[in-house]
Structure 1
Amino acid sequence: MNEHNTVEKMRRMRMNAMANLYHRSITEHLYQDYSLDDFLALMVDTEWENRQSRNIENLVQRAGFKQAVSAADIDYQTRRNLDKTTLERLLGLNFMHNKENLIITGPTGSGKSFLAQCIGVKACQMLSRTIYYNTARFFDLAKLARLEGTYAKLIKRIQKAQLLILDDFGLVTIDQAARNVLLDVIEERYDKASTIIATQIPVAKWHGLIGENTIADAILDRIVFSSHRIELEGESLRKKKQLN
């Protein structure tokens, strides 16, 4: 048996993790006390875990998060009306299974974006396709897509995402074009996939923010009434870090 030929065949079949493990086993004389079945299971598990890890890395990269975050770094000590039990339940992603939404509100620096992205990363780790947008930039992207004739493609991509995160919602004026884009997105995702909206603007002010009563009613009806809420309070966490 030509072990090195076997390793090369594994690499050509893109079973790189399996090939590396097998190569180490024959060059370093590892796993000699393993049965054939146990060693085969080890190689398959190693390849599986490696591919899962790569899938997660690709999903996180393609999501477009603005910063590297981890749920392990969430601050539960600062008083900002953040209930640990509630957030851990949301991190369990059952709301995504139920095609429900999440609205995170609070003053600037209260950690809205961080929490939204933590949930987004967790979704990626569970192999759910996720997209993150700064809302103003998304509206600009949608306007450009209309000019270039790729708007339908953009909406289709968003439709396929199991989780959409719209961050900093309402920080810029929502004009007629943006209203139409927002309605298209919400309609396509209604009862099909989950959306997280992070914003400084209280939900009670959204109707006036969106403008045009008919469209505002349609958007709010589809997203607000099927949403979980996190309403953060308190001073900016960024200010707290600077003081420390």
Structure 2
Amino acid sequence: MNEHNTLEKMRRMRMNAMATLYYRCVNEHLYQDYSLDDFLSLLVDTEWESRQSRNIESLILRAGFKQDAAASDIDYQTTRNLDKTTFERLLSLNFISKKENLIITGPTGSGKSFLAQSLGIKACQLLNKTIYYNTARFFDIAKLAKLEGTYHKLIKRIQKAELLILDDFGLVSIDQAARNVLLDVIEERYDKSSTIIATQIPVSKWHGLIGENTIADAILDRIVFSSHRIELEGDSLRKKKQLST
């Protein structure tokens, strides 16, 4: 067996994790402890896990999250109307496979963004393409894309994502251009993929927030009435954290 040629071929095929393990096994004679089938399985599994890990890291990076929101760090002890059983059911991501939506409402500092992003990171870990936007920032990006002639490309990118997160929805006024963008996004994703909206604004006030009855009706019909709901309550978690330090 020509170990050097085999190692070089692995590297040229960019099987770097496999090459690293193969080199170690050959030099330390570790392969002697394995059958041929077990040794081959070990090499393939190592390369597979390495590539999966890189894919997950890439998905998380491209999603654009603003927090490293690990599901293990979710606070279920503070009284804020967050049911652990309900949210852990959402963390199974069945709502994504069913093309369902989620709306998270609550006062500032209640942890809406963290919960939304924890679901987004979990989605990436299960290899679901995810996109995170602050809603006001997204409207600015969409307006610029229209000026640059790349709007269709932007909408197609969003359409292909299994999960879209729109954070801080409704904190800035929604003008005609933003209404049209929102309708385009919701229309393209309806019954095809999942969207999470996190907002301080109660759903009952969305119609007036969006404005223009026809567009508001179309948006609400497509995203609100088929959504899971989490309605957080209580004081700001950030204020409580500051007081405890």
TM-score bracket for the superposition, by shorter chain length: over 0.9
Cα distance between partner residues in 2 of 1:231 and 1:30 = 56
Alignment of 1:99-118 (within 5 A): 99-118=99-118
2:62 is equivalent to residue 81 of structure 1: no
Q: Percent identity?
A: 85
Q: Matched residue of 2:23: which SS? A: helix
Q: Matched residue of 2:72: which SS? A: helix
Cα distance between partner residues in 1 of 2:18 and 2:200 = 49
In structure 2, what is the equivalent of residue 125 of structure 1? 125
What amino acid is the match of 1:176? Q
Alignment of 1:153-232 (within 5 A): 153-232=153-232
- Alpha-carbon displacement from aligned partner over 1:67-119 (angstroms, at most 9, x marks no partner): 11100000011010000011011010101111100000000000000000000
Cα distance between partner residues in 2 of 1:32 and 1:81 = 57
In structure 2, what is the equivalent of residue 43 of structure 1? 43
2:35 is equivalent to residue 11 of structure 1: no
Cα distance between partner residues in 2 of 1:132 and 1:242 = 27
**Aligned-pair RMSD on alpha carbons?**
0.7
State the shift of 1:241 in Å.
1.1
2:61 is equivalent to residue 61 of structure 1: yes
What amino acid is the match of 2:95? F
- Alpha-carbon displacement from aligned partner over 1:30-53 (angstroms, at most 9, x marks no partner): 242210000100110100010000
Cα distance between partner residues in 2 of 1:226 and 1:53 = 33
- Alpha-carbon displacement from aligned partner over 1:182-239 (angstroms, at most 9, x marks no partner): 0000000000000000000000000000000110000000000110000001111111
Cα distance between partner residues in 2 of 1:33 and 1:57 = 33
Q: TM-score, normalised by structure 1?
A: 0.99
Q: Unpaired runs of 5+ in structure 1?
A: none
Q: Unpaired runs of 5+ in structure 2?
A: none
Cα distance between partner residues in 2 of 1:165 and 1:31 = 47
State the shift of 1:7 in Å.
0.9
Q: Matched residue of 2:78: which SS? A: coil
In structure 2, what is the equivalent of residue 92 of structure 1? 92
2:240 is equivalent to residue 240 of structure 1: yes
Q: Matched residue of 1:104: which SS? A: strand
Q: TM-score, normalised by structure 2?
A: 0.98
- Alpha-carbon displacement from aligned partner over 1:45-65 (angstroms, at most 9, x marks no partner): 100010000000000000000
Q: Matched residue of 2:32: which SS? A: coil
State the shift of 1:5 in Å.
2.0
Number of aligned residue pairs: give it. Answer: 244
In structure 2, what is the equivalent of residue 25 of structure 1? 25
